[in-house]
């Protein structure tokens, strides 16, 4: 298939970069931060490649000013980061950690001085361990804990931060945390998964309500990982596995948030946990929807798995990045169109990028990946998708969850021994794109 033509993006199209707290901040035991479920998971043997942890990560907690300087050189208009709930509320509720709140004051002020709009995500997977011990997302009380945490953060930063996201990738942390043991807290149980889905939805709705009250001029959205789910083969078993995985992956959050209903199989399964009035709490008007996209997922029947679905392999000869994620820009075009049509709200691509284990600074492979995906996004826009901005994952090489430090997603290389930062070829290329709204020739930017 020939590549779509080079799009020209308008001057108002937003170019940004994304990170998350646990993946970059480090300073895990500093200035009163409490432990999160990921601190706990990293200490369980075999859960993270090479025993990696977020204890130091990129040490962004201390080097944020340098990182803002690098963002300024990139010329990006916006930076998406997350607040670490256990840094500001070490036990998840109750006692407030002023030093933790001060850190995000410094970060936000620095961004604003650099002319970079802060996009604040409230939850990127680091639930305070103390709340997990009270049942975490399996407890209906979690919606109230989240609303209180949202109120604290909104009161503190709402004067400066106008772009708010409730959660990052609802599907990933609920499925991998409560149905498949690939993320914290590593539970594998249908009821736990269903409760987590529903309570996170309630937390989202309540959080939106708090933001509307406390930051009336806020632009509020939520961030979803959306990928087409395809059966590995055409057998009825694989087709059924793909249908259920598609519900759990793509529909059980955005549908209730924006359409006010669960998809069919989940609506039935959720009956024991949903109460009268819940859907009205969950379904709150949103200003935008964030799409994180990497590549299609292939499903296969796996009778031993919690829900009978497992991860299959790509059907055809689709090339993939090192962690097995397929490179399929046209799936990105399709996803953006589908989401834009289904939900009818403006879309921001809040993550897209590729991992590379080699650590190459001349990362031409990443440039080619981004070029292909951004062309596909331009094509989706020409076909009617209402996409308003694009955030690359990620600003910096960082702690990649279960893969630890074995793969690198950054535009900027981080030496994890010395913590030195070195902009890669992709950083110069992305800076040229952010300046002009036009895709530079791969290899000649910088
Ligand atoms: C997404 C996560 C992000 C990062 C990228 C590679 O699923 O939101 O934190 O790990 O994948």
Place of tokens 């669960």: 262
298 close to 314: Cβ distance less than 8 angstroms: yes
Residue ID of nearest Cα to ligand 1 atom 9: 20
CB of 298 shorter than 6 A to ligand 1: no
Ligand 1 pocket test target in 169, 324, 325 with most atoms within 8 Å of CB: 169
User: Separation of 401 CA from ligand 1 center, angstroms?
Assistant: 8
Residue ID of nearest Cα to ligand 1 atom 2: 169
CB of 318 shorter than 6 A to ligand 1: no
Gap between the Cα atoms of 156 and 99, Å rounded:
13
CB of 172 shorter than 6 A to ligand 1: yes
Ligand 1 pocket test target in 322, 349, 401 with most atoms within 8 Å of CB: 401
From 25, 117, 232, 351, active-site residue: 351
CB of 350 shorter than 6 A to ligand 1: no
Whole-structure pTM value: 0.97
Place of tokens 């709402």: 158
User: Separation of 429 CA from ligand 1 center, angstroms?
Assistant: 22
Phi, psi for residue 348 in degrees, rounded to 5: -115, 135
Phi, psi for residue 16 in degrees, rounded to 5: -140, -175
Q: CA dist 286 to 148, 315, 370, 405, 414, Å?
A: 20, 36, 28, 35, 36
SS3 234: coil
CB of 409 shorter than 6 A to ligand 1: yes
User: Does an H or E element contain 174, and which?
Assistant: helix 170-178
Q: Which atom of ligand 1 is nearest to the CA of 168?
A: 8
User: Separation of 31 CA from ligand 1 center, angstroms?
Assistant: 26
User: Separation of 63 CA from ligand 1 center, angstroms?
Assistant: 22
169 as an active site residue: the answer is yes
423 close to 397: Cβ distance less than 8 angstroms: no
CB of 400 shorter than 6 A to ligand 1: yes
CB of 225 shorter than 6 A to ligand 1: yes
DSSP state of 440: P
Gap between the Cα atoms of 245 and 153, Å rounded:
34
From 169, 232, 247, 400, active-site residue: 169
Which residues have CB under 8 Å from 133's CB, separation 6+? none
Question: Cα torsion at 272, 277, 281, 287 (round to 10°)?
Answer: 110
247 as an active site residue: the answer is no
Please classify residue 384 by burial: count the beta carbons closer than 10 Å to its beta carbon, then call 0-12 exposed, 13-18 middle and 19+ buried.
Answer: exposed
Residue ID of nearest Cα to ligand 1 atom 4: 400
CB of 142 shorter than 6 A to ligand 1: no
Gap between the Cα atoms of 63 and 17, Å rounded:
17
Per-residue pLDDT of the chain (446 residues; tens, 9 = 90+): 567 888 999 999 999 999 999 999 999 999 999 999 999 999 999 999 999 999 999 999 999 999 999 999 999 999 999 999 999 999 999 999 999 999 999 999 999 999 999 999 999 999 999 999 999 999 999 999 999 999 999 999 999 999 999 999 999 999 999 999 999 999 999 999 999 999 999 999 999 999 999 999 999 999 999 999 999 999 999 999 999 999 999 999 999 999 999 999 999 999 999 999 999 999 999 999 999 999 999 999 999 999 999 999 887 666 666 556 678 999 999 999 999 999 999 999 999 999 999 999 999 999 999 999 999 999 999 999 999 999 999 999 999 999 999 999 999 999 999 999 999 999 999 999 999 999 998 865 44
CB of 399 shorter than 6 A to ligand 1: no
Q: Which of 161, 122, 325, 131 is nearest to 227 (CA)?
A: 325
């Amino acid at each position: 298939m020939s590549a779509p033509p080079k799009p020209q993006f308008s001057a108002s199209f937003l170019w940004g970069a994304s990170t998350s707290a646990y993946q970059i901040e480090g300073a895990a035991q500093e200035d009163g931060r409490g432990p999160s479920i990921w601190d706990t998971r990293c200490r369980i043997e075999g859960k993270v490649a090479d025993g990696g942890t977020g204890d130091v990560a990129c040490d962004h907690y201390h080097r944020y000013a340098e990182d803002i300087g690098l963002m300024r050189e990139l010329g990006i208009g916006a930076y998406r980061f997350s607040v670490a709930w256990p840094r500001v509320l070490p036990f998840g509720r109750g006692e407030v950690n002023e030093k933790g709140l001060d850190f995000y004051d410094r970060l936000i002020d620095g961004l604003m001085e650099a002319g970079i709009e802060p996009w604040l995500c409230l939850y990127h997977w680091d639930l305070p361990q103390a709340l997990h011990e009270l049942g975490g997302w399996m407890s209906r009380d979690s919606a109230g804990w989240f609303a209180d945490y949202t109120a604290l953060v909104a009161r503190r930063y709402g004067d400066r931060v106008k772009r708010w996201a409730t959660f990052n990738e609802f599907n990933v942390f609920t499925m991998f945390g409560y149905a498949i043991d690939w993320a914290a807290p590593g539970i594998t149980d249908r009821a736990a998964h269903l409760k987590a889905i529903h309570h996170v939805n309630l937390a989202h709705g309540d959080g939106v309500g708090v933001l509307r009250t406390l930051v009336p001029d806020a632009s509020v959205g939520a961030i979803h990982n959306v990928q087409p789910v395809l059966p590995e083969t055409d057998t009825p078993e694989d087709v059924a596995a793909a249908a259920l995985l598609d519900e759990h992956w793509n529909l059980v959050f955005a549908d209730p948030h924006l359409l006010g209903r669960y998809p069919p199989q989940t609506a039935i399964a959720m009956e024991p946990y949903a109460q009268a009035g819940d859907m009205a709490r969950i379904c709150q008007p949103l200003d935008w929807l964030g799409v994180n996209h990497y590549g299609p997922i292939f499903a296969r029947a796996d009778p031993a798995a919690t829900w009978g679905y497992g991860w299959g392999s790509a059907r055809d000869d689709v090339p993939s990045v090192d962690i097995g994620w397929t490179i399929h820009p046209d799936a990105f075009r399709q996803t953006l169109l589908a989401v834009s049509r289904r939900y009818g709200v403006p879309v921001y691509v809040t993550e897209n990028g590729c991992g590379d284990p080699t650590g190459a600074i001349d990362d031409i492979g990443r440039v080619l990946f981004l070029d292909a995906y951004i062309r596909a996004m331009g094509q989706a826009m020409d076909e009617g998708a209402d996409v308003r901005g694009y955030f690359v994952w990620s600003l910096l090489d960082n702690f990649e969850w279960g893969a630890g430090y074995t793969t690198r997603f950054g535009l900027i290389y981080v030496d994890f021994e010395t913590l030195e930062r070195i902009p890669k070829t992709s950083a110069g290329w992305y800076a040229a794109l952010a300046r002009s709204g036009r895709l530079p020739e791969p290899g000649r930017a910088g």
